[in-house]
Amino acid sequence: MKAYNYDVVVIGGGPSGLAVATKLAEKGYKVALIERKDELGGILDQCIHDGFGTKLFNKALSGPEFASVFINKAETLGIGIHLNTYVKNVEIRENEKEIVAISPHGIKNIKTKAIVYAVGCRERHQFEIKIGGTRPAGVYTAGMVQRLINLYGILPGKNILIVGGGDVGMIVARHLYLEGAENLLIVFPEKRFAGLPRNVQQCILDFGIPYQPQTVVKEIIGKERVEGAILVRVDEKWKPIPGTEELYPCDTIILSVGLIPYSLKLKKIGAKIDPRTKGPEINEFFETTIEGVFAVGNLVQIFDYVDDAVESALIAADGVEKYLNQEPKEKIIEFVPGKYIRALIPHRIEWKDDRNIIAFFRANIEKENAHIELRDENGNLLKRYFRRYIRPSTLERIEIPRELLQDKRQVTLNVSED
């Protein structure tokens, strides 16, 4: 068993993991980066469309181009990169963390002062959304199809049904159209697409790809290979409407039905998980409920833009530095989502610092000319933010002046009802 010692170990070599590792290395810390695949970059390797980096670099890059910025940094900063390495076990002690990892070169024993988890998320599958029928070949997740097309040049089918109206589903629909799919149809239970408006325009409307809202798959038809699907209309509460079933012939079904933070490993070592985001509870510097253990990117919550996910990593790097320097914490201020907020991070504010607090939230309503209000435990208005339009499909970002929270025990963020 080979032994290693580091100041910080980052688990996950996607964009967020790369960002936090490179920033910490630039600060002068001895950093290790563990990645279970044989290459760095994470999901960006298969995202050949542009649009990445518009916030961070003020230009639109493809996924591989965006990732290469951080990969090149990582390779020149002397970061200990462990590829093809799987984290088997993590032991948390008061002043030290110990990681046991398995690689082609044998078992590695890695000791560190702090850990940053950046393991991302996973795609939901057909059994999580209760689709009936058989289990034939031809059912894929959107991420798998993206990988097949963009990395291996494989078109999974010709007559394709896409289930889900989110961003990934729309982007994959455009790829399939350009690669020669003969028939495409997108179905989703909402009244309108759940993704970003720019993707609706650029991926669907610009190419005239047909879609059917308020529709779900009741059953998959086929024995050896997908032959079709039974579609059914749903009401506003997503309940099937009797008598609206129809058979849609197809040879491929692609599921784009949501992403879930991969938080099982954190839960296993004792971190608290937020039932709203499905990710770990974190403070304003992305430290979990375990001291010295941080989480970043889509592991915390699903971000709309990779730039925002990377921003979470850059903030966390400052938090790791504060932890390693043993900077003091103040009393905990609870950060609570109101009635019209579906998800909110951070969950608490506790570090002594003078920088503004970056918060991300997703509303559960649609509203024009919306006011987002920050109130204390007594209902006093601390700050109000204006948004021309808010919707559940869009993750919002706000900055909160830290001085507003002095002497507060709890603050609540909500959408004003007026």
**58-98 pLDDT per residue, tens:** 999 999 999 999 999 999 999 999 999 999 999 998 788 99
Residues 386-409: pLDDT tens digits? 999 999 888 999 999 999 998 999
Distance in angstroms (rounded) separating the CA atoms of residues 234 and 365: 19
Q: Which residue has the higher pLDDT, 330 or 383?
A: 383
**Strand locations in 24-149, DSSP E?**
31-34, 80-82, 86-92, 97-103, 106-117, 121-123, 132-133, 139-141
Which of the four pLDDT bands, split at 50, 70 and 90, describes residue 189? very high
- Structural domains of the chain, ranges and CATH numbers in brackets: 1-123+259-327 (3.50.50.60), 125-257 (3.50.50.60), 330-418 (2.60.40)
N-term to C-term CA, the chain: 63
Structure tokens at 45: 């390797």
**Location of structure tokens 């253990």:** 293
CA distance 216 to 228: 13
pLDDT for 176 beyond 90: yes
**Block residue for tokens 């940094």:** 73
The rounded mean pLDDT for the chain is 94
Kindly tell me if the per-residue pLDDT of 211 is higher than 70: yes
Percentage of the chain exceeding pLDDT 90 = 87
Q: List the structure tokens of 171.
A: 């982007």
Report d(CA 187, CA 175) in Å as an integer: 17
pLDDT band at 126 (very low <50, low <70, confident <90, very high): confident
- Short-list 351, 346, 337, CA closest to 291: 351
- Cα(337)–Cα(325) distance, integer angstroms: 31
CB atoms under 10 Å from CB of 247, counted, come to 12
Mean pLDDT (whole number) for 295-300: 98
Coil, strand or helix: which one is 220? strand
pTM: 0.93
**pLDDT at 1 (0 to 100):** 67
Mean pLDDT of 356-373: 96
- 346 preceded by a cis bond (ω within 30 of 0): yes
